[in-house]
Chain A
Amino acid sequence: MRTLLVLIQKEFLQIRRNAFLPRLIVAFPIMIMLVMPWITAMDVRHVGVAVVDNDHSGVSRRIISHIGATDWFTLHGMAADYETALRQLERGQVDVIVEIPEHFERDMVRAEPKPISISANSVNATKGSLGMQYVLQTVAKTLKELQAERGLVAGASELTVVQNRYNPSLNYRHYMIPALMIMLMVLICGFLPTLNIVGEKETGTIEQINVTPLSKLTFSLGKLVPYWLIGLFMLTVAMLIARAVYGLWPVGAPGVIYLAAMLFILVMSGLGVTVANMSDTMQQAMFVMFFFVMIFMLMSGLMTPIESMPRWAQTITLFLPPRYFIEVMRAVYLKGTAFTELWRCFAALGLFALLFNLLSVVTYKKQA
């Protein structure tokens, strides 16, 4: 026990003496949490809209002013006709064209108007389809308002109530922030122990340790525990920033998040230590780690929902530990899911932690 404490103390001493690591450990979570949520946001704003108003009525003005009023759209003025607007679209100046037909207001009263046409540039599929939907909603809302004001019965259009549960403002940031925290832990808790052990191999210090009676388990724990504590520290910093800057705090119990993080960090550092044990040089270790980290980032549902992946890819994600942590993070952060409903994720994380750490002890060879 004393040996383990001395080993852990030594790791922290070395981290503190390092010119770079303490800064990284503090600055990295702050930077990721302050900058990335604005950049990785995939919600579409400032869709360029051109309006072709053939009606010049109160209704058309009302629609135009509504479009101009929200920051979803940037109104690029009125086009004389559809052809002019289409050229603007081709040049990339606008994303969506709204054409209000002649006599729209007059025909609306008779409840048989020619439809308003909306065309979108869908080269960027997300922007095109989302922009189109936003315009559609805005126009529909305006028309409904008008109908209500003039005492008209709502038209044949279906009245639907859309409600975005758990993320009511459809804020993409709320979806991304838990994912960013995970990315942070994947990077730091995966790479730091790897670098540390390969570093000891390169300076030859590991050889000096190998001739001592120190057990493999104690050695491995001495490497895992410090990064475990650092990972939890960084998670705390990230969660506090998310709360202070974005007002995002878990709906559920933070304890559930910490419990999952404790297991997940073990998974990552266990993997890192195993990779380090099997590598002789920094480059070798780094490339193997990059391989895993890329797959973790792209395939475990950090960026894109697992449900929209092809079936075979979904099967692969079952073997990716971050998948389970992401599930826990989003569930607890946005839905407030309780531990009892997430036990499968915890069991999976626990299994992976056990597996990788056993591997890390087994692959550590004191004797060649």
Chain B
Amino acid sequence: MDVIEINRLSKRYGQVRALDEVSLSVGRGELFGLIGPDGAGKTTLFRLLTTLISPDSGAATVEGLDIVHGYRRIRELVGYMPGRFSLYPDLTVEENLNFFAALFGTHVQDAYDLVAPIYRQIEPFKNRRAGKLSGGMKQKLALSCALIHRPSVLFLDEPTTGVDAVSRSEFWDMLAGLKAKDITMLVSTPYMDEAQRCDRIALCNEGRILGIDTPAGIVSRFDSRLYAVSAGNMFTLLQATRTFEGVDACYPFGSTHHIVAGGNFDAAALDGHLKADGLQDVRIAPCMPTIEDVFIKLMQR
């Protein structure tokens, strides 16, 4: 049996369907990513699984316990790191850690081996108030507090939002370390590049799951040819390309525009067409699809 099993789970807030018949399952020791923009329903799913809210319909179990009936037991087994920093800003690093250990009826020493790799990085600041920590340190403290009772499942809601690129990468290294200790993790992120570090990912949008697979599997679902195009005037380029025959879609992607090519797409013809339009420095080259390309394609479907 999988550690997390979700079956047609729905939750609405008034007229808004925050979560619409979502189903997925996460196996033991898996690092599972929920990838999607704001409003995709990621936080709602976390709040349901951590038993903070009840579903309207559907069912879900965590460690075999129903999220509605078994919520007391679930709370002892899971660790939750909310998207917003929610430790006591007026308590020090050490006091926060001791406080949360006490709430679970345990001591910091009992979970020290688990917490140590993370906590050691902020230990020099243990007498600093949590509110005065930098973003990356706050996030490490929050993770330490979420681990203090040796949870078997960890829910991390956008843990890297608002954190610098180096700290983000470090954070994913820490998650990899926890995975080695057989902790099951469900992580959400709006950053597509982080999806690569998950075992499996679910692409979510507007309360629905668009696809679940390994990062490589998701990318292999992209069944069209993809080109990157650039020119001196990127805006004119975008408009000119979108109306060209054989172009299924064209959207800005980093410093280029990506073209999803249809069956009758001819790169050389587009090149000539753009040059005739007066665009300079036109470059068209085939490129490899990324998760983001898949996401955009699935969203448009």
Contacts and interface: CB of A to CB of B under 8 A. Distances in A.
B75 A14 contact: no
Contact of B53 (A203, A209, A368): A368
B99 A10 contact: yes
A150 interface: no
Contacts of A213: 72, 75-76, 103-105
B103 A212 contact: yes
A118 to B, nearest CB: 65
A367 B69 CA distance: 12
Contacts of B53: 367-368
A211 B78 contact: yes
A13 B102 CA distance: 15
B71 A367 contact: yes
A14 B88 contact: yes
Interface in A59-102: none
B52 A214 contact: no
A328 B28 CA distance: 63
B215 interface: no
A14 B129 CA distance: 11
A3 B103 CA distance: 6
Contacts of B75: 211-213
A168 interface: no
B29 interface: no
A contacts with B: majority SS = helix
A217 to B, nearest CB: 14
Interface in A198-225: 203-205, 207-214
A59 B52 CA distance: 87
Interface in B245-298: none
A212 to B, nearest CB: 4
Contact of B52 (A13, A18, A211): A211
Contact of B86 (A6, A14, A203): A203
A258 to B, nearest CB: 31
A311 interface: no
A2 interface: yes
A10 B88 CA distance: 10
Given A205-B87, A205-B88, A367-B71, A211 B104 contact: no
B206 interface: no
Contacts of A212: 75, 100, 103-104
A207 B82 contact: yes
B80 A2 contact: no
Interface string B68-109: 000110011010101011111111000100111011110000
A14 B53 CA distance: 28
A211 B95 CA distance: 19
B51 interface: yes
A208 B142 CA distance: 10
Given A205-B86, A368-B54, A2 B91 contact: no
Contact of B102 (A3, A14, A205, A207): A3
Interface string B40-78: 000000000011111000000000000000011001101
Nearest to A4: B102
Interface in B131-172: 145
